[in-house]
Amino acid sequence: MKFQVSAIALGCIALLSGCGGGGGGSSDGGKSQSITFNFPGGGVIGIPPNVTTTKLVAIASGGGPVTFTTETPTCTVSGDTLSLVKAGECIVTAHQAGGNGYAAASQSQLFVIPKNIQTVAKFQNPGWQPVGGAPVQLAATVDTGLPVTFSSKTPTICSVSGTTMTPLANGMCTVTATQAGNDTYATLTADKNIPIGTELPPKLTFLDTYNDDPNTTGGGVGHAGGFWWCFDCAHTVSSDKTSLTFSAVYKDNPPAAWQYDHGSFKLYGPNIMATDLWFPTNSPTNEKNGTYRDGVSASAFTPPLATPKGAQVDIQGNLHFNLAQNPDWFNSADNSVNVEIFLAHFNTNKLDSNGNACYVSLKATVKPTAAAATDYSVGLKDKFALNQTCDLTDLDLWTELQTYPVIEIKFSPVRPQGETGTMSNDVPPKTQYVSAMTLTGPIYFQ
Residue length of the chain: 446
CB 348 within 8 A of CB 304: yes
Please check whether residue 277 lies inside any domain of the structure: yes
What is the pLDDT at residue 173? 97
What is the pLDDT at residue 245? 85
What is the enclosing helix (H) or strand (E) of 397?
Answer: helix 397-403
Whole-number Cα distances in Å, 353 to 30, 287, 350, 356: 85, 10, 10, 7
Q: Do 29 and 139 fall within a single domain?
A: no
Tell me how many domains the chain contains: 3
Please check whether residue 2 lies inside any domain of the structure: no
Q: Do 165 and 209 fall within a single domain?
A: no
From CA 314, how far away is CA 197, in angstroms rounded?
Answer: 17
Which of 179, 199, 219 is the last residue in one of the domains? 199
Residue 239: closest CA among 212, 215, 216, 213 = 212
- Radius of gyration, alpha carbons of the chain: 33
What is the enclosing helix (H) or strand (E) of 122?
Answer: strand 120-123
Q: Is 120 left (phi over 0), alpha (psi -120 to 50) or beta?
A: beta
Q: Do 193 and 211 fall within a single domain?
A: no
Which of 69, 85, 113 is the last residue in one of the domains? 113
This prediction's pTM: 0.68
Q: What is the pLDDT along the chain (446 residues), one digit of tens a residue?
A: 333 333 333 333 333 333 333 333 444 558 999 999 999 999 999 999 999 999 999 999 999 999 999 999 999 999 999 999 999 999 999 999 999 999 999 999 999 999 999 999 989 899 889 999 999 999 999 999 999 999 999 999 999 999 999 999 999 999 999 999 999 999 999 999 999 999 989 999 888 877 665 444 344 554 443 333 445 667 788 888 888 888 777 655 554 443 333 222 333 344 565 543 333 233 333 333 333 223 233 333 334 445 556 788 989 999 999 999 999 889 988 899 989 998 888 887 887 666 667 889 999 999 999 999 999 999 999 999 999 999 999 999 999 999 888 888 888 888 777 665 444 455 555 667 788 889 998 999 99
Q: Do 155 and 58 fall within a single domain?
A: no
Give the other-Cβ count within 10 Å of 432's Cβ.
Answer: 12
Please check whether residue 1 lies inside any domain of the structure: no
Q: Do 254 and 159 fall within a single domain?
A: no
How buried is 296 (Cβ within 10 angstroms: 0-12 exposed, 13-18 middle, 19+ buried)?
buried
What is the pLDDT at residue 296? 30
Q: Do 96 and 44 fall within a single domain?
A: yes
What is the pLDDT at residue 407? 83
Q: Do 336 and 313 fall within a single domain?
A: yes
Could you give the maximum distance between any two Cα atoms of the chain, in Å?
Answer: 123
φ, ψ of residue 10 in degrees (nearest 5): -60, -40
CB 382 within 8 A of CB 399: no
CB 196 within 8 A of CB 127: no
What CATH number is given to the structural domain containing 35?
2.60.40
How buried is 210 (Cβ within 10 angstroms: 0-12 exposed, 13-18 middle, 19+ buried)?
buried
Collapsing DSSP to helix, strand or coil, 287 comes out as coil
What is the enclosing helix (H) or strand (E) of 272?
Answer: strand 268-273
What is the pLDDT at residue 353? 62
Domain span at residue 103 reads 7-113
Please check whether residue 236 lies inside any domain of the structure: yes
CB 414 within 8 A of CB 422: no
Which of 48, 81, 113 is the last residue in one of the domains? 113
Q: Do 302 and 183 fall within a single domain?
A: no
From CA 443, how far away is CA 322, in angstroms rounded?
Answer: 8
What is the pLDDT at residue 408? 82
Give the other-Cβ count within 10 Å of 207's Cβ.
Answer: 24
Please check whether residue 345 lies inside any domain of the structure: yes
Whole-number Cα distances in Å, 352 to 100, 140, 237, 289, 390: 80, 36, 29, 11, 10
Q: Do 252 and 138 fall within a single domain?
A: no
What is the pLDDT at residue 283? 30
What CATH number is given to the structural domain containing 157?
2.60.40.10
What is the pLDDT at residue 208? 81
Q: Do 191 and 330 fall within a single domain?
A: no
What is the enclosing helix (H) or strand (E) of 76?
Answer: strand 75-78
Please check whether residue 186 lies inside any domain of the structure: yes
CB 154 within 8 A of CB 185: no
Q: Do 265 and 209 fall within a single domain?
A: yes
What is the pLDDT at residue 256? 45
> Identity (one letter) of the amino acid at 82?
L
How buried is 65 (Cβ within 10 angstroms: 0-12 exposed, 13-18 middle, 19+ buried)?
exposed
Q: Do 348 and 323 fall within a single domain?
A: yes
